[in-house]
Amino acid sequence: MTTVTLSPTICPSHRKCLKLQNSEEKKSIINTAFAIAMYYIPFHLRSSVSQENLRGLPKQYLIPPQQPSHLFTTVAKLCSNMELDNAFFFKGLPNRVNLNAHNAQSVFMSVAKETFADGTKNWGRVLAIYTLAGCMSLYFLLQNELVIVKSIPYWVKEFVSIHLADWIEEQGGWDDLPKKLSNDSNNQSSWSKVIAVGGVVAATAGLFLFST
**Rounded to 10 degrees, what is the CA torsion of 53, 58, 62, 66?**
-170
Report all structural domains of the chain as residue ranges with CATH numbers, in order of start: 67-183 (1.10.437.10)
What is the pLDDT, as a whole number, of residue 12?
53
pLDDT, mean of residues 118-132: 88
pLDDT band at 191 (very low <50, low <70, confident <90, very high): very low
DSSP assignment letter at 3 = P
The whole-number pLDDT of residue 22 equals 66
Residue-wise pLDDT tens digits, 75-101: 999 999 888 887 887 888 888 888 999
* Gyration radius from the chain CA atoms: 20
User: 174 phi and psi, to 5 degrees?
Assistant: -65, -25
Q: 58: closest CA among 38, 73, 37? A: 38
Total number of residues shown for the chain: 212
2-42 pLDDT, tens digit per residue, is 554 444 444 555 454 445 456 889 999 999 999 999 999 99
> pLDDT at residue 167 above 70?
yes
Task: Give the separation between CA 97 and CA 95, rounded to whole angstroms.
Answer: 5
CA atoms of 52 and 168, how far apart (whole Å): 37
Return phi, psi of residue 75, to 5°. -60, -45
For the chain, the average pLDDT equals: 80
Residue 169 host element (H or E): helix 165-170
Does the pTM of the predicted model rise above 0.85? no
Q: Give the orientation angle of helix 146-159 with respect to helix 12-48, to 10 degrees.
A: 150
Which residue has better confidence, 104 or 191? 104
- pLDDT bracket for residue 152 (50, 70, 90): very high
Going from the C-alpha of 159 to that of each of 21, 46, 105, 129, 212, the distances in angstroms are 22, 24, 11, 9, 25
Within 13 Å and on the Cβ side, how many CA atoms surround 174? Answer: 23
Question: Angle 52-32-174 (CA atoms, 0-180°, nearest 5)?
Answer: 120
